Amino acid sequence: MTKILVSTDIGSDIDDALALLVMFNLGMEIEAVYTTNGDVVSRALIAKHMAEIANSKARICLGEAESYDKSVKPYNLYSELLVDESHIDWKATESSPEIIYKPLKRIGIVENGVEDMAKLLSEEKFIIFSLAPLTSIARVISSYPGVIHNIKHLYIMGCRFFGETKMEHNMHFDPQAARIVFDSEIPITVVPGDVCSRYRMPVTIFDRCKSEVGMYVKKMAEAFIAASTAKEFWSFLNSEYKIKKIIDLDGISSHLMAKVNQGEKERSLRRVFSAEGVLLDIEGAVFDSEYYMRVYNTLIEYLVNSESSGIKKVISGHLLSLIPESISVADVYIPYCFKYREKIKIIRGTVNLSESLGESYLSAGEKHLIVSDIDAAHFGMFLKENIY
């Protein structure tokens, strides 16, 4: 069986966790997972918990947190709120304004991921799945050039070639690292973001998550959906003053929150009496997505049943549309394209990137393999079979 190394920025968007879940469920031999970009510690703790409850022996390691020239701010969306409580040092946290994690060595997380990846590659051949900016892989290439011949193939989720937009997050975060990787002699297959955008996964598929690791991913997905709803609601509410006045969260707070908090007396810490305080709190939506969505749906119900204004019913319909019905699963394309090479279309070209923004372009040549299309119907079945 092919041994695989995974580089990931798990914990910001849900597709990294889904990709790792699919790999575990497929029984892929994941030797190590390297967290990259921003809060690599929280990311590693999320990956560690997934590996533990999936009974995977994958080693979890800290990769590079900052880009090569440190010019782009790392992207992170409350990943610290998704860390399982089993990794929190509760005694230390009691006297601290911040959450304190248990020592990483005690948990079994390797702190120098670049060195660890280089050591593994010095001993045997691996395939690498990159679901994140290419910083950690570029560091290995630069610091340990003698080991890269043992990278059998590198699968990269990144770039945009086929639409008007050429900028994609993984390339934009660290274009210098990306250039180092693409200039190397490593065999590379790129799965571009614009190809991944052609299929979005219905959120109803999360209802299939019944295993312990699947339930953990579902919990993260619910946090992601609630945070997305909160951001969209905030934008909508502040788009025009009259919308804010029509909804009037201050005026309906007492009525709305009294209804929401029914049955919550035994959990007094969750009893909040300001609708605005709940609905505009993105961090709170991540921390307690179930409660956030209860308040949000109660607001919609209140507007639907309002007798004073027909416009409120129209607004309620818009608020309902802000709840995502589907999500991007771009990173899941990597294990799919690896496993079902006969279901994808490949073109050849040479990847180039702009100096500053990491915009990606294809030029003449046959250096890199580019996925130009996939069997969307088969991919949908793949998701249903391997997300549980």
Q: Do both 287 and 343 map to the same domain?
A: no
* Euclidean distance between CA atoms 379 and 375, whole angstroms: 6
pTM: 0.92
pLDDT at 267: 47
CB 4 within 8 A of CB 127: yes
Q: What is the tens place of the pLDDT at every residue in 212-228?
A: 999 999 999 999 999 99
pLDDT at 97: 85
Q: Do both 214 and 248 map to the same domain?
A: yes
pLDDT at 259: 76
pLDDT at 227: 94
Lowest mean pLDDT among 136-140, 272-276, 364-368, 370-374: 272-276
Burial degree of 101 (CB within 10 A; 0-12, 13-18, 19+) = buried
Q: Do both 154 and 12 map to the same domain?
A: yes
377: Cα within 13 Å, side-chain hemisphere: 0
Give residue 334's domain range: 3-199+329-386
Q: How many residues does the chain have?
A: 388
pLDDT at 139: 97
Q: Do both 213 and 149 map to the same domain?
A: no
Q: For residue 281, is pLDDT > 50?
A: yes
Query: How many domains would you assign to the chain?
Result: 2
Mean pLDDT, to the nearest integer, of 284-291? 91
pLDDT at 178: 95
Q: Which of 303, 326, 349 is the last residue of a domain?
A: 326
Q: Do both 227 and 292 map to the same domain?
A: yes
Q: Do both 43 and 184 map to the same domain?
A: yes
Q: Do both 73 and 178 map to the same domain?
A: yes
Question: Which carries the bigger pLDDT value, residue 266 or residue 278?
Answer: 278
Q: In the structure encoding, which two tokens stand for residue 226, read together?
A: 């609630």
User: Per-residue confidence at 357, pLDDT binned at 50, 70, 90?
Assistant: confident
Q: Do both 167 and 38 map to the same domain?
A: yes
Question: Which carries the bigger pLDDT value, residue 115 or residue 302?
Answer: 115
User: Per-residue confidence at 372, pLDDT binned at 50, 70, 90?
Assistant: very high
Q: Do both 236 and 380 map to the same domain?
A: no
Q: For residue 240, is pLDDT > 90?
A: no
Q: Do both 275 and 359 map to the same domain?
A: no
Q: Do both 173 and 301 map to the same domain?
A: no
To which H or E segment does residue 126 belong? strand 126-130
CATH number, position 55: 3.90.245.10
Q: Do both 43 and 128 map to the same domain?
A: yes
- Which distant-in-sequence residues (6+ apart) come within 8 Å of 377 by Cβ? none
* Euclidean distance between CA atoms 173 and 189, whole angstroms: 20
- Which distant-in-sequence residues (6+ apart) come within 8 Å of 338 by Cβ? 127, 129, 155
